[in-house]
Amino acid sequence: MTGRFVDKVALVTGASSGIGKATAIAFGREGASVVVAARREEESLQTVAEIEAVGGNAIFVKTDVSSASDVRHMVATTVSTYGRLDCAFNNAGVGSPSGIKRLHEYEEEDWDFISRINEKGVWLCMKYQIAQMLEQDPSKNGGRGSIVNDSSVAGLKAGPTAPYTAVKHAVVGLTRRAAVEYGRDGIRVNAVCPGVVETDMVTRAIAQSTEIAERFAAAGHMGRWGQPDEIANAVLFMCSDEASFMTGQAMAVDGGITA
């Protein structure tokens, strides 16, 4: 098999649908051995099947990214199966659980829920991924490893809700700090910041709120929403040797929202 990621191992969280699924399949198509990590088993096994259908190799590891034991097991299974970890896309995330409200109207449990998955989950993933990458030989496979975290345009500007804006800004901050701390170790860390992308999460948000539907309808300056494959393309670029001098960046792939 040919491709940019032959002989490399890629881990994708939230790979049961949407951007995560598209990215996992793209890694498989480009020759990587892929670890599909998510909470939903049936949908994740479908992702594995689609990777195999394009000639790739993949396994599923059931993972709740807010659980340290789950994340530790996810990385350990990656290494026990494939021997190393070269690329990680920390994509798993949730929207605001109770829809659009003003900051003072959110309950504490709403804030804790979104922070636990979107912020703590990214930190836990990086914690165990980086620990593994530090053990790897930097002279092989183009360096010790590359990590991409899924933020959002809400990590670069005010997003639709206060909690979502806060956690996505936190992801950008974690990304930049990790890039500074581990650059000399041969580990690159970047973030992708999608705009409105046609996924199940967006569809559910629209169904819950007329206000969200109106905001999303007006989002971007290209007259359409993004597609999961378009975000996957950016993630694979950042993980590839083509981006070997790129770290600590938050790349907007947003149809011009941040312009």
9-13 sheet: strands from edge to edge: 57-62, 33-38, 9-13, 87-90, 145-150, 187-194, 250-253
Q: Which domains does the chain have, with CATH numbers?
A: 9-253 (3.40.50.720)
CA 133, CA 187: separation in Å to the nearest integer?
Answer: 7
CA 202, CA 8: separation in Å to the nearest integer?
Answer: 32
Mean pLDDT for 34-50 is: 98
Q: Residue 202: is its pLDDT beyond 70?
A: no
Q: Which contiguous run of DSSP H or E holds residue 181? A: helix 162-182
Q: Residue 165: is its pLDDT beyond 70?
A: yes
Q: Residue 200: is its pLDDT beyond 80?
A: no
Q: Is residue 164 flagged as an active site residue? A: yes
Tell me the per-residue pLDDT of 6-41, one tens digit each, with 9 for 90 and over. Answer: 999 999 999 999 999 999 999 999 999 999 999 999
Of 82, 106, 128, 164, the catalytic one is 164
Q: Which residues of 173-206 are buried (b: 16+ CB within 10 A; e: fewer)?
A: ebbbebbeebeeebbbbbbbbbbbbebebbeebb
Mean pLDDT for 79-87 is: 98
Cβ-based neighbours of 104, under 8 Å, separated by 6 or more: none
Q: What is the pLDDT of residue 217?
A: 56
CA 151, CA 71: separation in Å to the nearest integer?
Answer: 19
Global pTM reads 0.94
Confidence category of residue 187, pLDDT binned at 50, 70, 90: very high
Q: Do 16 and 43 meet the contact criterion of CB atoms below 8 Å apart?
A: yes
CA 122, CA 138: separation in Å to the nearest integer?
Answer: 23
Q: Which contiguous run of DSSP H or E holds residue 85? A: none
CA 175, CA 253: separation in Å to the nearest integer?
Answer: 17
The residues pairing with 197 across neighbouring beta strands, listed in sequence order, are 226
Q: Cα–chain-centroid distance for residue 232?
A: 9
Give 129's DSSP letter. Answer: H
Here the tokens at position 151 are 């933020």
Tell me the per-residue pLDDT of 213-256, one tens digit each, with 9 for 90 and over. Answer: 556 655 677 888 899 999 999 999 999 999 999 999 999 999 99
Confidence category of residue 149, pLDDT binned at 50, 70, 90: very high
